[in-house]
Amino acid sequence: MVAATVRHILDTMTDMFPEAHCELIHSNAFELTIAVLLSAQCTDETVNKVTKDLFQKYTSPQDYIDVPLEELEQDIRRIGLYRNKAKHIQNLCRMVIEQFDGDVPRTYDQLVLLPGVGRKTANVVVSNAFGIPAIAVDTHVERVSKRLGLAGWDDSVLEVEKKLMKKIPRDEWTDTHHRLIFFGRYHCKAQNPQCQVCPLLDVCREGKKRMKLTQKRKDKEIIG
């Protein structure tokens, strides 16, 4: 993909979602880390409903350790995979206290050492909490990148991340991450993407394919 096409995609998404941002409600790096950990295979909306009470009850890593695991499980039971996530949270908090003096580490390499924290979570935390440019690839970013041809259909999540980092200016990584999410969450949805009104249809291989199939069905209905 030529640089001009990438620029067109970035500028169009900027026009569509100029205020794109992290929708997980948090007040510090620690809360953000917990929220992103909880968001795996779960919507931000559900996470925010749970953390509204969770973050009032637990304000420090020590608070999460001081309760029985079963109590924490009940506090997050509306979240998918809540039992595993409760274990990760308590183990993460122990590690933050024992190895990082009670503060969430500020570097990617240290963050991924924490239980339950993978590439996506670490990239979200460093970019949103500490202002370090990063691109976190979630399901929306992956889907949109592949549909638009910014990445290959068979690329792994890591390959998608590397290709986006290579094609997008570093100082735009974080904003682009948010805009790709908004574009995928509110426009280029998994099941019903709004191809017919999409300003990026001219460069979207998936959109062109879908529109051709739609036209063929209409033609058949007319003939039939």
Q: Which residues are catalytic?
A: 120, 138
Please state, in angstroms and as integers, the Cα–Cα distance from residue 96 to each residue in 72, 101, 105, 178, following that order.
18, 6, 8, 27
d(CA 63, CA 17): 37
State how far the Cα of 156 lies from the Cα of 145, in Å rounded to an integer: 12
Contacts with 126 (C-beta within 8 Å, 6 or more apart), sequence order: 106, 107, 108, 111, 132, 134
Q: Which amino acid is at 139?
A: T
Helix residue ranges, H only, the chain: 3-16, 29-38, 44-57, 61-65, 69-75, 82-100, 108-111, 119-130, 139-148, 157-167, 173-186, 205-223
In angstroms, rounded to a whole number, what is the distance separating the alpha carbons of residues 187 and 143? 12
